């Protein structure tokens, strides 16, 4: 992991942590304008995803429910309810007003545009 974004170890743990709580697989990519975080959360609907950015820590939560269709009963079950949580410390300020996220095919893509003050600048030498 590079110095711009790292897993947070100082963020407090979620209360009531159960065995079904998992850290999802993720990638972080960056350019001079933005970071992109891609998080795998199979089976999590858009309504089950929550994103927070507070004090430089991006928190991604996802909830997958294992429901049985109405009129049916479970005969065999390997897909159980599951909660995902990922905390990333952002070491470079991002523009919170321009953040965006999209969930497609079980992958959450989060775009984090950098604040103007955080972008590298070229200084002309005279």
pLDDT digits (tens, 9 = 90+) for 10-24: 444 444 434 478 999
Q: Indicate the fold that domain 18-116 takes in CATH.
A: Immunoglobulin-like (2.60.40)
β-sheet bridge partners, residue 45: none
C-alpha–C-alpha distance, residues 98 and 66, integer Å: 34
C-alpha–C-alpha distance, residues 13 and 83, integer Å: 13
Compute how many other C-beta atoms are within 10 angstroms of the C-beta atom of residue 75.
Answer: 6
Residue numbers in the chain where pLDDT is lower than 50? 1-3, 9-19
Residue 53: alpha-carbon gap to chain centroid = 10
Would you kindly state where each structural domain of the chain is located, as residue ranges?
18-116
**Which pTM was predicted?**
0.75
């Amino acid at each position: 992991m590079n110095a711009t974004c790292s897993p947070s170890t100082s963020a407090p743990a979620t209360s009531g942590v159960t065995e079904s709580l998992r850290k999802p697989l993720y990638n972080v990519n960056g350019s001079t304008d933005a970071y992109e975080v891609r998080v795998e959360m199979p089976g999590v609907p858009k309504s089950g995803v929550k994103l927070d950015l507070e004090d430089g820590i991006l928190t991604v939560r996802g909830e997958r429910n294992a429901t049985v269709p109405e009129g049916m009963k479970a005969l065999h079950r390997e897909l159980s309810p599951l909660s995902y949580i990922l905390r990333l410390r952002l070491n470079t300020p991002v523009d919170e007003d321009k953040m965006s996220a999209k969930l497609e095919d079980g992958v959450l893509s989060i775009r984090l545009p950098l604040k103007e003050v955080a972008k590298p600048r070229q200084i002309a030498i005279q």
